[in-house]
C-alpha cells in the first residue's frame, strides 16, 4: 500500500473527540529514554563567558550610499558550544562571504536603521572545499510535505510516495532565509517554496535546484530592485519602513525548518531609529556597533536562548526516528500513516545562550537592556531571576509597549521576543541566575509546580549566570524604567476591524489500528466546527489590501501553540475559553506582536492592518509542527 497525500489528509479530517490527544502523556514516556549520549549533568555550568554577537560588518553601501549591502553565506563549521575541554560541535550559521572572522552561531547581528533599506545576498554555502554539496548534519524525514529536491521540478514541494520506509534524506540541502517580523515584498520574505540548493558541482541529475516559487520571486525581485539572483543565492531587500524593534532571521524551508534551524542558522536583526524609537541614551546602551574595537563594554545585549542535546562526541543530537517520541517502532511505510523520522516535538536537555551552554556574564551594578529571544524549536520558557530582581519589559516583537511593565517572570513561546531592562544597581558582588520554570514537555498554560512540573532544576531549569563583579565604568545615566515614557514611541494599533475571520488549530491522529498517536498538526478554517487543512490545500485566507482583520484562532488541541503571521504586526485583542467569557491580553501583550500564544480550549483573537499585497504564510512556531502541516499560505490582495 502506498501512502498518498489524500489518505494522509484523510487522517486529518477528524472529529472533535479524536482531536484531543494526550501528547503530554506520550512525551513523558520518551523523556526517560536517554538517547543523546552526552549526559547534560556532566556539562560544567557557568565556566564559559557569554558571547555577545558583534554587529555584522557591511559588504558595501550601494545606490549612492543609501542602502546597506551584505553578502552572507550559510556555511558549516565547528564551534566550541560545550565548555573548553569538551569536543567542539559541527554547526551551520551565517557569515559574511570570505570573512571567516564573522563566522558564529548564532550569527553576527544585523544593525538596521529605520527608513534605510538593507539588501542581503543570501548564499547557500553548504558545499565542501571541492565545491560538492554537504549533506544535512541532522536527519531529514523525506515522507513529509517538504521541499523534496529529489522529486525534480514535477515533484518538488510535495509529499512524495514511498513503497517502503525510506531513510533520511542525504542530498543537497535547500535553504531560504526569513526575516522574522519583517514587513517586506513577498519575494523577499523567504517563502517556504522559494528555497534553493547550493550551486554545487555534484547536484544529482533530475533534482530540482530551486523551489516552485523561486523563479517567479526572482523575476519580481529583479524587476523591483535590479538585483540579480545568481545560482545558489537569493537577494532580499528589507525596507525597514516599520517601527524599531527586535527582529531575527532564520531558515524557513518547506518541511525542514526544524532541522535547518536546530543546526544553527539564526541571528538578530535590530531595527533602530525613526519615530518609534527613543533617543540615544534614554535606555541602557551601547549595543555592539559595526567597527567596534575589541573589548568594548555593552549594556544592551541580545540573548538567544535555545535548548539542544549533544552526543558524547560533541555533535548535535536530533532524533532520527519517531520511536524517540513515543516508542512507536513502526510499521511505517507501507502499513501506517506515521512519519518514520519526524517527531511531534523535540526538547533539548541542555540550555544555550548565544551559542554556548550555560554561560556566565560579568556585569556592572547598573541597568542593562536585554533583548531576549526564545529560539527553541518547541520549548516554552518561563524565565525568572534568582534572587528575584524582576524585569521591566519595555517591548515585544513589534516595538515598544505603551508603558513599561514590571514582571517577576517572563513567559516566552518559541520565536517570541521580550525587550527588558534588568537593574543590577546595588548588587555589587552578587551572583544572579536566570532560571527557567517552563516545562520539559509541551506547554498547555498554567503555573509551574501547580499545573506542570517545571524544567529540571539541574539542567534545563538553568540558563545564564550574571556576576555583578565589574566596577561601574561611569554613572548610569539611563532613565529608570518606572520613569520611561514609551507612549510617544509605541507603535499605533490597527484601526477599526473591517473583517473578522474564524480559524482553527488542530491535531491529526493516526488511523493506524491500535495506535492513536499524533501524525500531524494542522491549521484550518472554522465554521461552527473546525475544518483542518494542510499546506497543499487551496488558500482560504484571502485578505483585501488595506483590510483590518481580526482573526479568531480556535485551539482544539491539548497544547499551546505560538502562532506567527508573516508580514504584519498584530494587536492581541483578547482570549476566550470555549463557552466562557473573553478576557484581555496580558500586560506584556499590549504592544504589537507577530507571534502569540494560543492556548488549548480557547479562542485567541488578534487584529492587524494588512497593507501590502502578496503571498505569505501563517504558522505555528513549534517548528516540528510547522514542518508537518501546521502552516498555511495566505494572500493579501
Q: Which of 183, 379, 625, 632 binds Cu ion (CB under 5 A)?
A: 625
Question: Nearer to Cu ion by C-beta: 156 or 561?
Answer: 561
Q: Is 244 in the site for Cu ion (CB under 5 A)?
A: no
Cβ 25 vs Cβ 35: under 8 Å: no
Stretch that binds Cu ion, among 32-40, 166-174, 333-341, 559-567 (CB under 5 A): 559-567
Residues 447/450/454/457 CA torsion (nearest 10 deg): 120
Q: How far apart are CA 231 and CA 359, in angstroms?
A: 39
Q: Output the smallest distance, CB 427 to Cu ion, in A.
A: 38
Q: How far is the CB of 588 from Cu ion (least distance, A)?
A: 21
Candidates 136, 218, 322, 561; binder of Cu ion (CB under 5 A) is 561
- Shortest reach from residue 63's CB to Cu ion, in Å: 41
Minimum distance from CB of 557 to Cu ion (Å)? Answer: 7
Residue of 298, 257, 264, 251 whose CA lies nearest to 111:
298
Q: What's the grid cell of residue 20?
A: 484531543
HEC sequence for 170-206: CCCCCECEEEECCCCCHHHCCCCCCCECCCCCCCCCC
Report the residue number, 227 or 503, with the smaller CB distance to Cu ion: 503
In the complex with Cu ion, the residue whose CB is nearer, 333 or 415, is 415
b/e 246-282 (16+ beta carbons within 10 angstroms → b): bbbbbbbbbbbbbbbbbbbbbbbbbbbebebbbeeeb
Under rule CB under 5 A, residue 379 binds Cu ion: no
Buried b (16+ CB within 10 A) or exposed e, 381-417: bbbbbeeebbbbbbbbbbbbbeebbebebbbbbbbbb
Among 381, 620, 631, 636, binds Cu ion (CB under 5 A): 620
Residue 440, CA atoms < 13 Å, CB-side half-sphere: 21
Nearer to Cu ion, 234 or 622 (CB): 622
Looking at beta carbons only, is 203 or 620 nearer to Cu ion? 620
**Cβ 203 to Cu ion shortest distance, Å:** 33
Number of residues engaging Cu ion in binding (CB under 5 A): 4
Residue nearest to Cu ion (CB): 620
- Round to whole Å and give the CA distance between 165 and 476: 62
If the CB atoms of residues 421 and 509 are measured against Cu ion, the closer one turns out to be 509
Part of the chain binding Cu ion (CB under 5 A), chosen from 129-137, 483-491, 548-556, 621-629:
621-629
Comparison of 423 and 626: residue with beta carbon closer to Cu ion = 626
Q: Which is nearer to Cu ion, 243 or 562 (CB)?
A: 562
Cα–Cα dist 256/209, whole Å: 16
Return the number of the residue (86 or 523) whose C-beta is nearest Cu ion. Answer: 523
Within 267-362, residue ranges assigned H as helices are 323-326
499-509 and 518-527 strand pairing: antiparallel
Binding Cu ion (rule: CB under 5 A), the pick from 464, 490, 622, 636 is: 622
Q: Quick one: which segment of 490-498, 555-563, 565-573, 597-605 binds Cu ion (CB under 5 A)?
A: 555-563
Least distance (Å) between residue 414 CB and Cu ion:
9
Rounded CA-CA distance 326/530 in Å is 27
Smallest gap from Cβ 507 to Cu ion, in A, equals 9
- Tell the smallest beta-carbon distance from residue 601 to Cu ion (Å): 15
Site residues, Cu ion (CB under 5 A): 561, 620, 622, 625
Amino acid at each position: 500500500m502506498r501512502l498518498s497525500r489524500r489518505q494522509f489528509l484523510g487522517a486529518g479530517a477528524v472529529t472533535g473527540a479524536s482531536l484531543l490527544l494526550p501528547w503530554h502523556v506520550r512525551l513523558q514516556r520518551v523523556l526517560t529514554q536517554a538517547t543523546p549520549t552526552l549526559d547534560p549533568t556532566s556539562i560544567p555550568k557557568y565556566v564559559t563567558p557569554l558571547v555577545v554577537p558583534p554587529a555584522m560588518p557591511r559588504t558595501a553601501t550601494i545606490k549612492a550610499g543609501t542602502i546597506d549591502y551584505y553578502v552572507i553565506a550559510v556555511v558549516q563549521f565547528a564551534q566550541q558550544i560545550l565548555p573548553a575541554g569538551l569536543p567542539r560541535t559541527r554547526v551551520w550559521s551565517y557569515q559574511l562571504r570570505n570573512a571567516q572572522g564573522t563566522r558564529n552561531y548564532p550569527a553576527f547581528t544585523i544593525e538596521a536603521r529605520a527608513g534605510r533599506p538593507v539588501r542581503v545576498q543570501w548564499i547557500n554555502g553548504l558545499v565542501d572545499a571541492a565545491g560538492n554539496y554537504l549533506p544535512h548534519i541532522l536527519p531529514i524525514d523525506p515522507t513529509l510535505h517538504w521541499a523534496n529536491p529529489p522529486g525534480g521540478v514535477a515533484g518538488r514541494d510535495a509529499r512524495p510516495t514511498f513503497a517502503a520506509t525510506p531513510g533520511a534524506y542525504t542530498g543537497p540541502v535547500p535553504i531560504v532565509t526569513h526575516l522574522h517580523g519583517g514587513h517586506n515584498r513577498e519575494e523577499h520574505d523567504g517563502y517556504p517554496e522559494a528555497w534553493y540548493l547550493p550551486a554545487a558541482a555534484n547536484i544529482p541529475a533530475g533534482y530540482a535546484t530551486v523551489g516552485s516559487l523561486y523563479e517567479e520571486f526572482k523575476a519580481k525581485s529583479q524587476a523591483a530592485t535590479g538585483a540579480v539572483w545568481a545560482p545558489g543565492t537569493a537577494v532580499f531587500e528589507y525596507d525597514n519602513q516599520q517601527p524599531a524593534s527586535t527582529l531575527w532571521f532564520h531558515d524557513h524551508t518547506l518541511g525542514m525548518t526544524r532541522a535547518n534551524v536546530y543546526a544553527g542558522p539564526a541571528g538578530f536583526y535590530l531595527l533602530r531609529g525613526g519615530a518609534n524609537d527613543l533617543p540615544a541614551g534614554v535606555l541602557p546602551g551601547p549595543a555592539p556597533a559595526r567597527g567596534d574595537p575589541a573589548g568594548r563594554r555593552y549594556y544592551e545585549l541580545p540573548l538567544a536562548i535555545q535548548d539542544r542535546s549533544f552526543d558524547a562526541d560533541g555533535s548535535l543530537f536530533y532524533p532520527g526516528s519517531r520511536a524517540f517520541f513515543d516508542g512507536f517502532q513502526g510499521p511505517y511505510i507501507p502499513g501506517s500513516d506515521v512519519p518514520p523520522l519526524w517527531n511531534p516535538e523535540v526538547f533539548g536537555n541542555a540550555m544555550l545562550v548565544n551559542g554556548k551552554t550555560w554561560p556566565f556574564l560579568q556585569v556592572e551594578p547598573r541597568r542593562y537592556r536585554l533583548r531576549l529571544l526564545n529560539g527553541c524549536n518547541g520549548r516554552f520558557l518561563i524565565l525568572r531571576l534568582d534572587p528575584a530582581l524582576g524585569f521591566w519589559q519595555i517591548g515585544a516583537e513589534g516595538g515598544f509597549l505603551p508603558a513599561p511593565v514590571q514582571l517577576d517572570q517572563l513567559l516566552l513561546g518559541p520565536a517570541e521576543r521580550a525587550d527588558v531592562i534588568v537593574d543590577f544597581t546595588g548588587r555589587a558582588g552578587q551572583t544572579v541566575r536566570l532560571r527557567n520554570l517552563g516545562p520539559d514537555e509541551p506547554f498547555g498554560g498554567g503555573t509551574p509546580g501547580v499545573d506542570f512540573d517545571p524544567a529540571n532544576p539541574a539542567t534545563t531549569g538553568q540558563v545564564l549566570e550574571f556576576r555583578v563583579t565589574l566596577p561601574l565604568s561611569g554613572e548610569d545615566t539611563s532613565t529608570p524604567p518606572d520613569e520611561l515614557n514609551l507612549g510617544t514611541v509605541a507603535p499605533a494599533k490597527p484601526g477599526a476591524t473591517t473583517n473578522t475571520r474564524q480559524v482553527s488549530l488542530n491535531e491529526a491522529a493516526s488511523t493506524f489500528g491500535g495506535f492513536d498517536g499524533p501524525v500531524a498538526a494542522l491549521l484550518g478554517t472554522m465554521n461552527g466546527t473546525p475544518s483542518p487543512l494542510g499546506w497543499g490545500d487551496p488558500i482560504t485566507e484571502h485578505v483585501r489590501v488595506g483590510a483590518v482583520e481580526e482573526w479568531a484562532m480556535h485551539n482544539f488541541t491539548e497544547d499551546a501553540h505560538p502562532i506567527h503571521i508573516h508580514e504584519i504586526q498584530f494587536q492581541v485583542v483578547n482570549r476566550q475559553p470555549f463557552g466562557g467569557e473573553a478576557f484581555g491580553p496580558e500586560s506584556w501583550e499590549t504592544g504589537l506582536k507577530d507571534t502569540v500564544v494560543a492556548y488549548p480550549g480557547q479562542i485567541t483573537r488578534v487584529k492587524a492592518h494588512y497593507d501590502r499585497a502578496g503571498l505569505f504564510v501563517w504558522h505555528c512556531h513549534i517548528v516540528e509542527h510547522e514542518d508537518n502541516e501546521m502552516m498555511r499560505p495566505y494572500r493579501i490582495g
